[in-house]
Amino acid sequence: MNAIHYREDDLYIEDLPLSEIAAQFGTPAYIYSEAALTGAFESYRAAFANLDPLLCYAVKANSNLSILRHFARLGCGFDIVSGGELARVLAAGADARKVVFSGVGKSEQEMIEALNADIKCFNVESLNELLKLNTVAGRIGKTAPISLRVNPDVDAQTHPYISTGLKDNKFGIAYDAALDIYQQAKSLPHLHIVGIDCHIGSQLTDAAPLIDALDRLLGLIDQLSSAGIALHHLDIGGGLGIRYRDETLPDLSAFAQALSERLQGRGLQLVMEPGRSLVGNAGILLTRLEYLKLGEHKNFAVVDAAMNDLMRPSLYSAYHGILPVTRREHLATITVDVVGPICESSDFLGKDRQLAIMEGDLLAVMSCGAYGSTMASNYNTRTRAIEVMVSGDQTRVIRSRETLDELLANEKSCLDK
């Protein structure tokens, strides 16, 4: 059974009605299903069992400590992109030897923190980063394990804001320059080459671009072998999508079979960096309808959640399903834009939705487990939403609702200085 489902006319998450959760914790609120998190992870583990990959959850998708701890206990590694994310995964009990550090702008301090933690690997994204990492490692008496994030110039066929594998993207090292930079890395005394990495984009609904990228990497790996550079692991990144609406998604087992055929006999550990596909469909944003604003040309459902809570629709024109928590068959369906109270015309959660609703009703914005709470802000001095984990018929607060006192504290402390 889907973790989020109707029982008669009431919407449930696992074994709890969302109306009961709203009554206890208020709105807006992020609500997650622990069973859905586990199920998504186990689907990867089952599909790729023959390859036994290291699954490094992409922390940027949702960095809540309780979610990180849950994945760590399942045996997951982590893909991080900042020193802050390193601190989070360590606080959550992660094994640093299962942590890979990606990102184009690693600072010296972030490098030092990661070296001292003895992470698995730095995914290096430029020659200058490579040189800086060698200098920093030497200064503190460490050897940095590295892979190069190679940009294979493969079109991920996704939204341009989340495409990362083309020549004009800021990410990674150009394919044609990679062999030369690997040779430079081999000559640097404080670096140890352990792998190769690529990541071409996010919300991929077709695995074919990933296979194309892998084929390009395997050709480069053969060149590296001929040059006397042996690798321990191959990191193919993440990016597999989820169903927000009616997308047809890749078959994980078929994808695993294609990888297995290509990697057979190569002796490389497979590393993968799933993010959205592990958490996206495990969470919803629960919100309450404050006002129905009916007009001659447009109707608006004004709710208490806003673009500061869920940025994706405003940022990407992303689609999220919106369901009434209580179905009201006696009400007429109307077409509405579901909008928040922020003073921006871009503040919307969904446009032209067919809903039978009345003021005071609860709505569930679906598929909000990824890039929801982690991208939230305090715009318009709005406090960030509470986050609640559901397991069966039990709830647990995993992030308390932010208060105005907390939000203002750092500024109040400066008033008299």
Structure tokens at 245: 């609406």
Of the residues 76, 343, 368, 414, only one is catalytic, namely: 343
Whether residue 77 is annotated as binding a ligand: the answer is: no
Whether residue 243 is annotated as binding a ligand: the answer is: no
CA distances (Å), origin 344, targets 25, 108, 286, 335, 347: 27, 38, 21, 21, 5
Task: Judge contact between 128 and 104, C-beta under 8 A.
Answer: no
Contacts of residue 60, defined as CB under 8 A and 6 or more positions apart, other chains included, come to 81, 85, 275, 371, 374
**343 labelled catalytic:** yes
Strand order in the sheet with 16-17: 4-7, 10-13, 16-17
Whether residue 6 is annotated as binding a ligand: the answer is: no
Whether residue 344 is annotated as binding a ligand: the answer is: yes
CA distance 345 to 351: 12
Please identify which residue in the block is written with the tokens 């709710």: 303
Parallel/antiparallel/unpaired status of strands 29-33 and 386-391: parallel
Please identify which residue in the block is written with the tokens 């994808």: 255
**Cα three-residue angle 16-2-314, rounded to 5 degrees:** 90
Whether residue 276 is annotated as binding a ligand: the answer is: yes
Whether residue 273 is annotated as binding a ligand: the answer is: yes
Q: How far is CA 371 from the centre of its chain?
A: 6
Whether residue 275 is annotated as binding a ligand: the answer is: yes
Which residue positions form the known binding site for pyridoxal 5'-phosphate? 239, 273-276, 371
Which residue positions form the known binding site for substrate? 276, 312, 316, 344, 371
Catalytic residues, which ones? Answer: 343
Which residue positions form the known binding site? 239, 273-276, 312, 316, 344, 371
